[in-house]
Homo-oligomer: A and B are copies of this chain.
Amino acid sequence: MAILRGTCMFGQSGGPSSVINSSAAGVFIEALEQDCITEVYGAAHGIRGILNEEFFDISKEDIKELMLLKNTPSSALGSVRYKLKDYKVDDTDYKRLLEVFKKYDVRYFFYNGGNDSMDTCNKISKFMAGSGYDCNVIGVPKTIDNDLFGTDHTPGFASAAKYVATTTMEVKLDAGVYDSPMVTVLEVMGRNAGWLTAATKLACHKGLGPELIYLPETAFSIDKFVADVKNVMDNNAGKCLIAVSEGIKSDKGEYIAELFADNLTKDSFGHSQLGGVGQALANLCKETFGCKTRAIEFSLMQRCGAHLASTVDVEEAFIAGRESVKVACAGGTDKMVVFERTYDANGKYVCKFNAMPLELAANTEKTVPAEWIINDGTQISDEFVAYALPLIQGDCKAPLEDGLPRFAKLKKIFVPKK
């Protein structure tokens, strides 16, 4: 097969992470070095930028700034949540994408995101192939949720896990400071997979973790929760630190957050004051035990806390970007780059990079293994610690300027519309 020559298009999609820009840096640096790639474009707001012919000319950026992307959180090009229809139902968007690809001679397409983004990437890949338009399509994995199938772990997870574990340790020290009963509930992101909530187990490993950890993988019972908390308080001088995934569900599959919301009257502005499941459970504990409570939501901080990124994660995300380009330039297409965990002769963790069919990544969700969830659904086993610890190693953050992070400043020069 002849080597394709043409433009490289890269887009970011879905919720940002601390290291998604590190993958962008990897793609850009590698693409700029590849002879078969004539132009390097970054789509503004993912697929929408392509549909609107809004993309930035990456060759106009300083290499130094591109390298600073490695430690700059969030999606520097802008992200999007745009679901492509099945092209058998409505191929309008696909025809438009093909038109744009042809117009700008896009022969290499890289899309960086989680499950939904891989679904988008997979559909585009299949449509281009079906249209007979030669374009190598590669998915670059990303998600703090760590729920992508077929890869040992996903870029973004480890840094979020490091944020969650470190912050949990600090909060544990703070929440226990008074000599009176206190229930503290930490709410962690994750609708269906509890990987990030499980990361609070790393704080337990250091003696400063939650007594109770609830993942969405296990059905959540409010009555059992109350009994669990009472048991901890009775044996722990009235103190209880709890980590819950935002996505915990009842045995009927209803979100616990929504169960509480049903009990609420709307406020004068017409909104129910749902403060998230953490707040609801903290209120429940206050009512039940009459003690001081506090709900803490790690909110956006857990996915943009780049100042706590792990070096392993930042470097793996960068290499994932580079590898994607290498795979595509070697003729690979319709694939997602995946991580394989290996250990060297000294037992040291070594990450290997492979590629697998996009289709597999697009339609499967990886959850925490049932056997890692122990103590009647209230704790995580040491197997998780062995899994996660190698991934959170090393300190890595943006250089400081005036004591504050110096993030990448891109010029973002639009490619003139044709």
Contacts and interface: CB of A to CB of B under 8 A. Distances in A.
Given A174-B303, A178-B80, A403 B393 contact: yes
B300 A175 contact: yes
A235 interface: no
Interface in A366-404: 389, 392-395, 400-404
A270 interface: yes
A404 B170 contact: no
A389 B402 contact: yes
A218 B391 CA distance: 47
B300 A171 contact: yes
Among A80, A260, A270, A405, max chain B CB count under 10 A is at A405
A297 B297 contact: yes
A74 interface: yes
Interface string A155-188: 0000000100111011101111111000000000
Interface in A31-88: 44-45, 48, 72-75, 78-81
A301 B45 contact: no
A417 interface: no
B169 A404 contact: yes
A131 interface: no
Interface string A262-298: 0111011111111100010001101100000010110
Given A170-B305, A171-B300, A286-B271, A16 B73 contact: no
A301 B304 contact: no
Contact of A178 (B45, B260, B284, B294): B45
Contact of A267 (B175, B179, B263, B403): B263
Nearest to A54: B179
Nearest to A205: B402
A296 B404 CA distance: 20
Among A48, A72, A177, A269, max chain B CB count under 10 A is at A177
B294 A166 contact: no
B402 A206 contact: yes
Contacts of A243: none
Contacts of A271: 283, 286-287
B45 A174 contact: no
Contacts of A303: 174
Contacts of A401: 206
Among A74, A174, A301, max chain B CB count under 10 A is at A174
A173 to B, nearest CB: 4
Contact of A165 (B178, B275, B279, B404): B404
Contact of A173 (B73, B202, B264): B73
B404 A45 contact: no
Interface stretch (A101-109, A306-314, A336-344): A306-314
Contacts of A75: 177
Nearest to A287: B269
Nearest to A14: B177
Contacts of A268: 263-264
Contact of A307 (B170, B208, B306): B170
Given A202-B404, A274-B273, A407-B208, A173 B304 contact: yes
User: Which 7 A-B pairs rank lowest in CB-CB distance, beginning with the nearest?
Assistant: A273-B273, A74-B173, A275-B275, A265-B265, A263-B268, A174-B304, A269-B287
24 contacts: A72-B173, A74-B177, A78-B178, A79-B177, A162-B404, A166-B404, A167-B305, A169-B404, A170-B300, A171-B300, A205-B402, A205-B404, A208-B407, A264-B267, A265-B265, A271-B286, A271-B287, A273-B274, A294-B299, A296-B301, A301-B301, A389-B402, A392-B403, A395-B400
